[in-house]
Chains A and B, each alone.
Chain A
């Protein structure tokens, strides 16, 4: 972390017309898992403004290398080798330093390593599918993995998820907590997916699509995709009519 004074303002209100609503019946599981009553709104208190921050000491050497963090010594996961990188910034465009990112994904064939998953595509003995990292002083992050495959899921009769990587993001306040999914530029299945289409606004969906980034590929090794993540911004505390920190 930096030696800047920590920011303590309340977060900008969430635009819930931009995020997916709770009830999106084409994504069938949402039907019985969506609240029907209105949310209770109130301005952030200290309980929402504060949040856990994680030190680099939690990280192992291979935590941001999914090609190797589950592989036997000398072996590596099968699939298209990629680097995923970008910045975590807030709505004001400021880099979020020290943000913990966790990611998980299926293997190159679309198979997750999970006891509840029974897709016929095989597991890769050298691929676990989880990783994590912490952003640097300017909010940058990066990790290596293999590009996940698409996979079918029991929603409609013939629904397939586009290739995607799940992201869990911590900012500096508990109200910034976010889980989302990253998709890959050019995948025709993005626009057919009921989970993607739970987001009403096409521009918002495009914010989840990572472009191919040839400038950051490693020749003869890995391609790269760039995925920036925007968390809620903070209000300034300069003119708040209340005591600092209250």
Chain B
């Protein structure tokens, strides 16, 4: 026998189930008085720097039905491209921007909504700039391990064309599944879990 490497195995994922709201957004689910407010509701305040935007959309299953019990989290840099994280060593991010948001899909319409700011650009490993993007993590009943993807913006065509991640995508006809469509100060980003319009998900 060779020596053992000694690494542990990651705790395996399980579905968040239909009642994820009880733990992650209790006020939304009607359990009030335990936490003052649900985490991740407010990403910005009146001092946050950058362009205010709204990102909204729905998550569809393989039959085209919107999920009304999903939970989305987003993570993004501030308007200067800095993350509000201890692992961010390039400088101090805007203290008035959390960078992290959490939103359940509406129990009737299935819509999610994030009030945030347009993110700045962040360098890839080799120093090239990635196009402005928002990282997304989706959990729900029926999803055994959280799905990771990114939101890019349709008014950033030049940057998108040079983005090291988008450029890796072999089937170019799938790139639009990662690009949100602008409508005024809002962007629409629908997510398709399965089928012809399937969103690109990451192993990252």
Enumerate chain A interface residues (CB-CB to B < 8 A): 1, 6-8, 12-16, 18-22, 24, 27, 29-37, 39-54, 58, 60, 62-63, 69-70, 89-93, 102-104, 112-117, 128-132, 166, 168-169, 172-175, 177-181, 195-196, 198-199, 203-205, 207-208, 229-233, 242-246
Contact = CB atoms under 8 A, between A and B. Distances in A.
Nearest to B90: A245
A116 B144 contact: no
B63 interface: yes
A39 B26 CA distance: 32
B39 A114 contact: no
Counting chain B CB atoms within 10 Å of each CB, which of A44, A90, A112 scores highest? A112
Contacts of A229: 11
Contact of B86 (A1, A44, A90, A233): A1
Interface of B: 6-24, 26, 29-31, 33-36, 39, 61-63, 65, 67, 69, 73, 75-77, 83-90, 98-100, 107, 122-127, 130, 133, 135, 137, 139-148, 150, 165, 168-169, 174, 193-195, 198-204
Contacts of A46: 83, 88, 122-123
A174 B85 CA distance: 10
Given A8-B89, A129-B22, A179-B139, A20 B9 contact: no
Given A52-B99, A174-B137, A230-B11, A45 B31 contact: no
B145 to A, nearest CB: 5
A117 to B, nearest CB: 7
B12 A208 contact: yes
Q: Which 3 residue pairs spanning A and B have beta carbons closest together? A: A104-B23, A29-B142, A33-B142
B94 to A, nearest CB: 14
Contact of B22 (A14, A27, A104, A246): A104
Contacts of B39: 54, 58
A6 B76 CA distance: 19
Given A6-B89, A29-B141, A172-B85, 5 more contacts: A21-B144, A47-B133, A102-B23, A130-B26, A180-B12
Contacts of A49: 87
Nearest to A102: B23
A171 to B, nearest CB: 10
Contact of B147 (A35, A93, A203, A233): A35
A243 B87 contact: no
9 contacts: A15-B9, A30-B144, A46-B88, A47-B135, A51-B100, A70-B34, A91-B7, A116-B19, A132-B23
A40 B168 contact: yes
Contacts of B31: 70, 113, 128-130
A174 B201 contact: no
B204 A33 contact: no
B11 A42 contact: no
B156 to A, nearest CB: 15
Contacts of B30: 113-115
Contact of A34 (B17, B88, B146, B194): B194
Nearest to A6: B86
Contacts of A132: 23, 35
Contacts of A104: 19-20, 22-24
Nearest to B26: A130
